[in-house]
Structures are given as C-alpha cells and as structure tokens.
Amino acid sequence: MELTPAELTLLGLLVEKPRHGYELEEVITARGMRDWTEIGFSSIYYLLTKLRAKGLIAETGEPARGKARKVYAPTPEGFRACAAGAEETIATLTPVFPPVLVGLANQPTIPAARLHDALARRAEALADKITEVRAAAARERVPPFVRAIFDYSLTQLEAEQRWLAAYRGEL
C-alpha cells in the first residue's frame, strides 16, 4: 500500500504508541519534525481520517488525558504498511530539489557584494539551525531511532556549513 510521507510519519508515531491528535502535534513539535515533514497542525486530523479509511489505524477506546479525545493505534495491516513503507524509504535514494541550487545556477546575475551578503546570511541561518537542532536533541532522552534523525539532520547541516565556508573562501 502506497503511503505519502506524511501518512507514513503519523502511522509511525502511532506504532510507537497509541496517541490522540493533539498528542501527535506535541510529539511533532518537540522532535522538530516539521523541518523534514509536511504535516501542519490542521492536517493531522485529515491524515488520521485517511489512515482510518485505509484500515491502517483504529480507535483504541482508551481514554485520553482527561478529555474526550479519540486515541488511535495501528491495526495489524497498519504495522505491516508502516514497516514496508519505512524500509522502502530508507533503501530508496530519492532526488531532492534544494532551492539553493537554483540560486547557485543563477549567481552570475548577482553583483559580487550582494552575493557575499547572501552567502553570509545563509551561513548565519545554518549556524542558527544547527544550534536549534542541537537544543531540540538535548531537551529530553530520546530512543536511538529518534537520535538517528537528529544526527542525520545535524550531519547534513554541518556538511553544508563546511561547503559554504570553503566556497566563500574561493570567492
């Protein structure tokens, strides 16, 4: 069964443990998942409805923390779909389309001083993002698979930071 990245992400959070929509929002925010997923707060309930319609999740009947919220858990088919989808996304190299490459391809149109300024702003934004991701990773104890997500993100950001420093030195 084909799942969108957003569907697979929510399904994975429910495989971790049954949750209600607001709790999913809390986990997404705490883990900084919006940096790599396209799940807005308003789309969580829409995605839960889609997963339920596909038979991948069901209400558990467990009470949520003090409110009448629906708690969802994966069905056996949901576990299988999550495992298959996760394996496929890990194994498959998917092209990414970073907008910075479009800018680099068109940099001859940018006056030198403005190019240096744009690169300096990018370097500052990278440093800020690295600090933000490190802080999010240090906030709480996380399982090894969550640590891997933070480590992967930091490795990518730090690689771009090294590239940017070298490139700026060439100009």
Q: Using one digit for the tens of pLDDT, what is the confidence trace for 117-129?
A: 999 999 999 999 9
pLDDT at 65 over 90: no
pLDDT at position 83 is 97
- Residue pair 133/150 in contact by the 8 Å Cβ criterion: yes
Distance in angstroms (rounded) separating the CA atoms of residues 157 and 36: 13
63 with 114, same domain: the answer is no
Task: Say what the pLDDT of residue 63 is.
Answer: 63
Task: Identify whether residues 85 and 112 lie together within a single domain.
Answer: no
Task: Out of 57, 91, 125, pick the residue that ends a domain.
Answer: 91
Summarize pLDDT for 78-109 with one digit per residue, the tens: 999 999 999 999 999 999 899 999 999 999 99
Q: Confidence class of residue 141 from pLDDT cuts 50, 70 and 90?
A: confident
Examine the fold and report which residue of 61, 91, 121 is the final residue of a domain before the chain moves on. 91
d(C-alpha 63, C-alpha 61), whole Å: 6
Which residues form the domain of 144? 99-170
Together in a domain, 21 and 78: yes
Same domain, 76 and 9: yes
Whether residues 21 and 50 fall in one domain = yes
Counting the structural domains of the chain, the total is 2
Which domain CATH number covers 48? 1.10.10.10
- Long-range pairs of 83-90 with CB within 8 A, sequence gap ≥ 24: 84/1, 85/3, 85/8, 85/11, 86/8, 86/12, 89/5, 89/8
Are residues 73 and 145 both part of a single domain? no
Question: Is residue 28 located within the same domain as residue 51?
Answer: yes
66 pLDDT band (50/70/90 cuts)?
low
- For residues 20 and 77, state if they share a domain: yes
Task: Please indicate, yes or no, whether residues 74 and 123 belong to a single structural domain of this protein.
Answer: no
Query: How confident is the model at residue 68, as a pLDDT?
Result: 64
User: Could you say which of 56, 91, 126 is where a domain stops?
Assistant: 91
